[in-house]
A and B are shown apart, each in its own frame.
Chain A
Amino acid sequence: MILKQPVLKSKQLHKHYRMGGQDLHILRGIDMEVHENEFVAIYGRSGSGKSTLLHLLGGLDRPNEGEVFFNGQEVFKLRGGKLDRYRNRHVGFVFQQYHLLPELNALENVLIGSMIGRSLIAWPTKKKQIKERAKMLLETVGLSDRMKHRPSKLSGGERQRVAIARALINEPDVLMADEPTGNLDIDTSGSIIELFQKLHEDGQTLILVTHDEGIAEVADRCLTLVQGKLS
């Protein structure tokens, strides 16, 4: 039997922070794998290092030790803007605080991710196609009538849906969500989780970080982070 190579893999990841003269060893040798079309939840208490692990996997932060592999390629050895390109093309982030750009409307917030990956010259040739995809994504997340609204005019749930659409615009290999329902009420949280499930059913690989055991249960696999180690 040939084992399929994981999309994402970490090997002995360690992360330290210096805080008030103290060394905080947040991650203590994380080994994990995420396979294509898999929905993985990383569950842990507040401060357990879940977000830090997600940031390392997504190439947003660098580990003190250890490696992250994306499709077999060592992520932190990427040079010359390739790490930026990794974040832009292969990973999609969804944050607890939504982190939409306040000056842009919903459609522009979705489009910006695609614009980042394209030059001023290349953009016009793909603009129509990408715009169609952005509109389709907003329709998928149920915001077809809110495309021209700026974040300040949207509810928390709507903002998070825009953030999800933004994360999906470049058809990322892995969608990484960091406590995506942390700021939402139960009903809205439920609808967002349903959306993730639907995306997963459509074949999207997902890593979801949560401190909510109930939410973690919807994933295919749940990894629990305790004191910087996976159990």
Chain B
Amino acid sequence: MYKVLLIWKYLRRKLAPMFAALAVTMCTMMVIIVISVMGGFFELLSSSAQKLSGDVTVTAFSLSGFPHYQDLIDEAEKLPEVAAATPTIQSYGLLNLRRGGANGPTGNTKTVEVMGIEPESYNKVVDYEATLMWDKGSLLDDLNRLSDARKKQLKKWETEDLAEAGSDELKKQIKEDYAAKLQQLEALTEEQSTQLSNYGLKDMGMKLEPTSQRSIRAGKELPGMVIGVEVNPYHSRDAEGKYNILNAAINDNAVLALMPINEKGDIRGEPANAEFAVVNEFKSGLYDIDANRVYVPLSVLQEKLDMTAAEEYDPETLMPTGKGVPARVTQVLFKSAPGYTAEQTAAAVTKVVKQIERENLGIPILYTQTWMQMHAHLLGAVQNEVGLVTFLFAIISVVAIVMVATTFYMIVLEKTRDIGVLRAIGASRWGIMNIYLGYGLAVGVIGALLGLFFAYEIVTNLNEIQEWLYQWFGWRMWDPRTYFFDRIPDKVDPIKATWIVIGAIASSVVGALIPALLAARLNPIEALRYE
């Protein structure tokens, strides 16, 4: 009982342990913030990566692709582990984006990763629709934002003009003029809003088809293309990291130069050109993907890359051999059924792959990979970074232990005579040790809980804090123009936070251990004579 009383009194009367508690608070806070932000960043990347590639991918790791993919899909979809499957072609090409249609000014040309997809089945496997950037809502939002900005500007001009106006008559005239302008603006916004409501941007992205008016304008049926938001050279993000729809490449002309490769891996001599109309843009959250990938219809890409089903010709006689060459894709993506992990699905799909390989001798070796394996290079790097930063901050947190140890050593020195008194009136060595260990525990609990509280408040308000810092000091710690996520991760993982708090408390007790042992080992007579 006396230990509790003394710990309580020491906590209330001494300033030194409060500094030790502050060190524990700072270290706890620091580690929780770092782990929350870095962990959140890693989770954002992971979920984006998973959304992009489904749970499992079967690929030949060759641009020439592999045949019999439909058999693979049909068989795999019978498995309880598989919820959906979709064929895709992953290829590369040169993209020329041109504003104002085919006859527009010289466009921008860059290399891109071309993904041929069947949007409907692709959307069942990956979160394709959710990545599409522009829809009616975003157009209307932008329109309203623009309209509000214009109204504010009108109001400002009106105030300035009124301040300069001399006579009341002139003021009245100015007011009437601006009221009319405002009315015009509202009418225009209303009209544009009605027009935009009929504009099916999401549908176009989902079908990979432009509007009929666009094809009429082009004078031919054009397939649609969805480009990564960073593929579009005209975009630049605002200070909040947002893209402006006015810079979107929708309806722009896109010409792809592709290099067809036959089933044997031979590259055909001449590139194949294909013309598309951009129907939407996508943002997956992975910068590399968003800056390089474009989506086009699978059938169009198969045709351009000579990957459609065809009849085989004898290269010498140029006569049909009577054998068919099956259509090819470069990969098939699978989504796991609820309750199954990617690993379980991969194991089940691998069996089907083996069966297809046995039935179709000569097809390329196929590899089955989970989404984590597919993105191991990226996720592994970030995970290593998270681990390293956490380790570094954990080392810094040793400061807390040293701080507690130093503080408690000073306290033990200061309290030497009191320790002698306690021993004289019957306290055991174990009891003395427990006073200082309990004291360390109390300091640890106070420090760690305060650290948790502050870390929680900081992490959950990190974006608001950043906003405040930006407004007052013009400084952003996480510039959304530099990083690809608009918001700083702001979730505290309760399990990790609990472990950190436990670790901080344990550190504090460890810090108090040596001083506690020294206190326990004090000779009571020497302690009583201590000056």
From 88 to 128 in chain A, residues with beta carbon under 8 angstroms from any chain B beta carbon are 88-89, 93, 95, 99-104, 108, 112-113, 115-120, 123
Q: Given A55-B525, A103-B6, does the pair A113, B13 have CB atoms closer than 8 Å?
A: no
Determine whether the beta carbon of A61 is less than 8 Å from that of B525.
yes
Q: Mark contacts of A58-102 with chain B using CB atoms, 8 A cut-off: 1 yes-contact digit, 0 otherwise.
A: 101100000000000000000001001101110001010001111
Determine whether the beta carbon of B426 is less than 8 Å from that of A87.
yes
Decide yes or no whether A166 CB sits under 8 A from chain B.
yes
Determine whether the beta carbon of A116 is less than 8 Å from that of B422.
yes
User: What are 16 A-to-B residue pairs whose CB atoms are below 8 Å?
Assistant: A61-B525, A88-B427, A93-B424, A95-B421, A99-B418, A99-B528, A103-B9, A103-B12, A103-B13, A112-B2, A113-B426, A115-B1, A116-B2, A116-B422, A120-B4, A167-B425
> Which one of A85, A101, A115, A117 lies within 8 Å of B421 (CB-CB)?
A101
B524 to chain A, nearest CB (A): 5
Interchain residue pairs A-B with the least CB separation, the first 8? A88-B426, A115-B2, A123-B1, A103-B9, A115-B1, A84-B428, A99-B421, A87-B426
Determine whether the beta carbon of B5 is less than 8 Å from that of A118.
no
Residue of A nearest to B10 (CB): A103
Q: Given A60-B524, A120-B1, does the pair A112, B425 have CB atoms closer than 8 Å?
A: yes
Determine whether the beta carbon of B418 is less than 8 Å from that of A101.
yes
Excluding A60-B525, A99-B418, 12 further A-B contacts by CB distance (< 8 Å) are: A55-B525, A60-B524, A84-B423, A85-B426, A95-B424, A100-B421, A101-B422, A103-B10, A103-B13, A112-B425, A116-B425, A120-B1
Residue of B nearest to A124 (CB): B1
Decide yes or no whether B241 CB sits under 8 A from chain A.
no
Using C-beta atoms within 8 Å of the partner chain, give the interface range for chain A: 20 to 34
A147 to chain B, nearest CB (A): 16
Q: Mark contacts of B2-34 with chain A using CB atoms, 8 A cut-off: 1 yes-contact digit, 0 otherwise.
A: 101110011011000000000000000000000
Expressed in whole angstroms, the Cα–Cα distance for A120 and B9 within the complex equals 16
Q: Given A61-B525, A103-B10, does the pair A84, B1 have CB atoms closer than 8 Å?
A: no
Decide yes or no whether B431 CB sits under 8 A from chain A.
yes
> Which one of A81, A85, A99 lies within 8 Å of B424 (CB-CB)?
A99
Residue of A nearest to B11 (CB): A103
Decide yes or no whether B417 CB sits under 8 A from chain A.
yes
Determine whether the beta carbon of A112 is less than 8 Å from that of B424.
no
Q: Mark contacts of B421-449 with chain A using CB atoms, 8 A cut-off: 1 yes-contact digit, 0 otherwise.
A: 11111111011000000000000000000
> Which one of A88, A104, A116 lies within 8 Å of B9 (CB-CB)?
A104
